[in-house]
Structures are given as structure tokens and as C-alpha cells.
Structure 1
């Protein structure tokens, strides 16, 4: 049961202690991230959600796996006070900036797996403040799912400081577990080496660094039951607030995966990897009726004028219009039935009904077992500026297809058996 909502009244004006407008805090950010970070919360929960979250007691961060680099889109007052960072230093950054030399590789690997599997995790973690001082926290991570498509829309990381135990208690714990630590560290190193030898390139980036530091970290400090309960209570309050404000926009969220529209939810780790491909493309799921779109790149949204929630779940033919050549559409359908790639030139329409000549390429994408997991469709405006590297449109399209195939196959290899 979610905790009772204690958010401020909807529409309340910000008082003198409220944070400055988000736009003013993202001026120093990478321009390509600024707008997505500013809109990440407001687009789904309403413009008042940040103010409501700001009144929740506790230390927590919210990140968006749908934005390239999985950046932080909200940081609570408590977290900023604990870490020593300012809000403008945190927004748009990846959570691995809080790691340091003694951050335990075992803990990092556990967090990585939880994100890849899109599940809740509670673990002790050694992080670093801005001034470089280390501190132990209870790290409570949970995903937030969109009800309309079952996709992870945000991750929330609640952080509760762990009090230092007395010397006698530490000695008792060390005696109790003496003899097993060395073997565990060796096993951990072997597991990490196995990942490398398999060629896995984990794309999970939330609170995860990718070098070898931290393997020799000190023994983890264990949280008390009271600290664990405090983390759970904070998580419930945050989720309750997000759920309340999501209802105002009609884009309802939940702490459990459920899909009203029957849209196949793709793994958030794959979303992160696809976000690095800076071209206009969409992924469609051939396992579902009408082969709906399950992923749309930012560049596709910019090209067509549609928002992401207007695209996901729709058939891939919605850009067509009255003057789109029916013979070309038949050629595309035939290539899909034959499970072959196809390149055509067709007339498409943006949301504002302006038209453009689309250099269109579609290709099947197979997972590690050889089964078709998706179809990738790459769109290019014929009148767009030429590529700075001098590549032809077709070569650029093939580059996108290749990058998508690597992302899909790498994830299915690293994650083991697929749900597809």
C-alpha cells in the first residue's frame, strides 16, 4: 500500500524557499540534453511535480533511462545537502560521478544487474561527497513504469546514510565472516573477467562506473532495520507523489509493469544503448498485431514533429498521406513478409501535415538466437544537409541498422534468455 500523499495543493505558487526554475539550472548543460531533462518530469507528471517532490523529506535522485546517458533529472534538497553538490552540478549528469576509488565493484555489479532486469534493489554502497570524503549509504533503487506501455520511464534512488557501528560490533562481524572474503573476491574478479571475455558491453549507466576500481574496497557497512524501513517509507512517499501527479496528465505510472495498450516494453538498458544512435529511426515489434512502434529516437521526433507518447504503439504507416505511392507501400510490405531489407523513396507527412520526401530503409533485427526481435526503420529527409563525413544516405542508414543490431544482440547475450 502506498503511503498517504502529502504533496502540496495543485497549482500552489512557489514560495521564497522554492528552487529556481529548472530552465535556469540547465543553462550550462550539454545543449542536446537540456530540453529533454527539463521536460522529463513535467511532460509526464505535470509542471507542479518538482515542487511536490521537493517537499518530501529524504535524500533521493530521479533519473531518466530514455535520455541518452541516463541523466539525473531531479535531486532532492536532502541529497544536495548530504552530497555537497548544487542542483546545477547534478542535473543532466550520470550518477557514477558519486563513485570513488573505494566504491565496491561487487555492489556496482549488483546495481547494474538490477537496472538491466528493471527491478528493485536495496544495498549498502560507499559513495563520495563533492569534497572527496567517502560515506556509506543504504542505496534503495526502484523502477517506475508507465501503465500505457509497460516501459520504465524513470528510476528512483533513495539514499539513507548508514551510521557507523561500534568497534566491538565490527570485530564480531569480521570474526564471523573471516575466511570467506578472499574466495568471494576471487570469484568476483572471475565473473568480471568472464563478462569481458564474452564481449558483453553493459549499457547500464545509472550509478555505474566501468573501470576496475573498487575491487579491493573495505567490507560493506550493513544498514540497520530502522534504516531499511526509512528507505522503504521514503520510496513509498515518492512513488505516491509521482502516481498522483501522473493522473493529472493521464499518463499514469506504477511500481509494477503493466500495459494497457498491449505494447511490448523493451528493456531500459536497450533504450539507453539506442539513445546513443543519433539518427532518425524507430523500432517495431513483429510479434504484436499490426507491428506497433516500441521505440522512437529523438531525431525521429524532431523530423516528424510528434511527441514520443504520440508515436509509441502506433503502426509504422501513420506518416503516410493521400499522395503517398501505394505501390511503394506494397513493396515495403512484401519485404517485411519476406523478412528482407528494403530501401525506397516515398512521400510522408509531419504532424503539421507538411510533406517531405523520405529516404526510407527498413530491415529485420535478429537477436542472439537468430529470431527476428524488431524491424528498424530509418528515415531521412531528402532535402536535409549532407553528412559531415561525406557518407551517402544509404551508407548512413546501414550504419544505423548495424548499430541497432549490435545493441540488440549484445543485450540478449549479456542478459541471458530473452523474453522474446
Structure 2
């Protein structure tokens, strides 16, 4: 298994009760709010910082630890490529890299490996998170283990995501699409001509309508549905 590490970040901050660890002294409060996107999600997820060398992971949730078998101290500070192994498809990895380079949401199904060497088919979603100036500040990544046999089960998952999105109102869909594009509430409000308060209300309605707990989960549903 590939085990190259990005330079570790200095310092450690842990949020109790959320199964989440972060490193780095700068902009801790901002990172904490971003990290809350994934803390309570049942879906394995990470946040990485492309402004640091090799785009290292700065936060992960319990579900990611459980899925991969790696303890947090072996996750934080590394690029996600440590999940690659002998049969990881280079073309799929290239699609992920290109999506990150283009600063666009991307989703692929790729062979990855757990800490014990077990291989698994991983539905990886990566989406940018932009700052107030429109520059990429973080990347959100989430992972779902799939059956080795592709086909009907995966089609059901994608169709289910599309059906959930279709149940949303037109305005809620607009909000969801912009969320999936990595836009902040202030940016969404500007693009749609709404107040931030109204955007927050719609955002809460989107989570309820999709039956998910976090914005990270909503973004994944949107990308699975093809938005």
C-alpha cells in the first residue's frame, strides 16, 4: 500500500463528543465550523487543505476511521492517496486529480485498501469549499463502501439520490446545487438575491427534505444524483 505522508501540521485540537481531530494553529475557529460539516455524519468523510503542501487531511470523522481501520494519528496530515493499493485504477485516480485541479465536484468508484490490506470498492466524492473571495479553501471528501459487484445495487443508489432531490422545491434545489458547488451562505444569497437568513432557512429545509444530518451528506446526495 502506498504510504507517502504529506508534512504533518503543527499542534492538535480535538473536539470532544464528535470523534474528530484537527491539527494546525491558524484559523482554528473557521476550521472548527467547516469540520462540523462531517462530525456527526454517518458517512465516512474528511476535510483537506489544498493551501498546504500535498493537500493533507486536517479533519476526519468516526465513520472514516471505522471504514478504513486507520487511527486518527495515521490519517491527519496525510493525503488521501494512502488508501491506494496494487489494484487501484490509475484512470479513476486521474479523474479525481483532474476534478480537484478544475476545482469542481467529482465522484468516482475506485478500488481502495483498508489498513489491514482488505480491498474495497469505494464511491469517492470530492467537492471544493470556497472562501469569501471565491478561492478554494478546503476540499470535502466522502467515501461509501460499495458491493464488489457493480450494477443494479449502485444504480439503485444513484436513482434513489435523484428521487430524493426531485422531492425538493425549486428553490431548495437551487440552494442544493450551489451547496454542492462549494458556495458559502453569503455567496448563495448573493447569487439568488436572497438574505443569508433566508438561505439558512432553505438550507435547513434541504437537509430535512433529503433526510440527512449534515451539509456534507446533502452535497454527496446532490453529486450522486448528477447535480
TM range (shorter): 0.5 to 0.7
Q: 1:59 aligns with which of 18, 34, 44?
A: 44
**Structure 1 residues 253 and 83 mapped into 2: Cα distance closer, same or farther (>3 Å)?**
farther
Match of 1:44 in 2: 30
- CA RMSD after TM alignment: 3.2
User: Which structure is richer in relative contact order (CA contacts within 8 A, separation 6 or more)?
Assistant: 2
Query: Offset at 1:122?
Result: 1.4
Q: Is the 8 A contact 1:145 1:253 kept in 2?
A: no
Q: Is the 8 A contact 1:84 1:129 kept in 2?
A: yes
Residue 70 of structure 1 deviates from its aligned partner by 0.6
Matched, 1:100 2:85: yes
| Residue 118 of structure 1: how far off its partner (Å) | 1.0
SS at match of 2:42: coil
Are 2:85 and 1:155 equivalent residues in the alignment? Answer: no
**1:79–1:20 CA distance, 2 compared to 1 (3 A):** closer
Report if aligned partners of 1:158, 1:231 keep a CA contact under 8 Å in 2. no
1:291 matched to which residue of 2?
Answer: none
- Deviation sequence 1:132-182 (CA, Å, 0-9, x none): 111001111111112x211111111111111233xxxxxxxxxxxxxxxxx
Given candidates 158, 170, 174, the residue that maps to 1:228 is: 158
1:104 and 1:125 in contact (8 A); partners too: yes
- Return the structure number with greater helix share: 2
- TM-score between both structures, scaled by the size of structure 1: 0.33
1:354-386, Cα deviation, whole Å (9 max, x unpaired) = xxxxxxxxxxxxxxxxxxxxxxxxxxxxxxxxx
Highest CA radius of gyration, 1 or 2? 1
Which residue matches 1:87? 72
Q: Structure 1 residues 230, 98: closer, same or farther in 2, change over 3 A? A: farther
Does structure 1 residue 117 correspond to structure 2 residue 102?
A: yes
State the shift of 1:230 in Å.
7.5
Given that 2:123 and 2:145 are in contact with CA atoms closer than 8 Å, whether structure 1 keeps it comes out as yes
- Following superposition, the deviation at residue 253 of structure 1 comes to 6.6
Aligned pairs for 1:200-349 within 5 A: 221=150, 224-228=154-158
Tell me by how many angstroms 1:49 deviates.
5.0
Is the CA contact (8 Å cut-off) linking 1:123 and 1:138 kept in structure 2? yes
Query: Does the aligned pair in 2 maintain the 1:71–1:95 contact within 8 Å?
Result: yes
**Aligned partners of 1:19, 1:81: CA distance in 2, in Å?**
11
Question: What are the ranges of 5 or more consecutive residues in structure 1 without an aligned counterpart?
Answer: 1-13, 23-33, 166-220, 258-420
Q: Structure 2: 5+ residue runs without aligned partners?
A: 1-14, 165-175, 192-227
Q: Secondary structure at the match of 1:224?
A: helix
Contact 2:50 2:56 in 1 (8 A): yes
Q: Work out the number of aligned pairs and report it.
A: 159
CA distance in structure 1 between the partners assigned to 2:140 and 2:161 by the alignment: 11
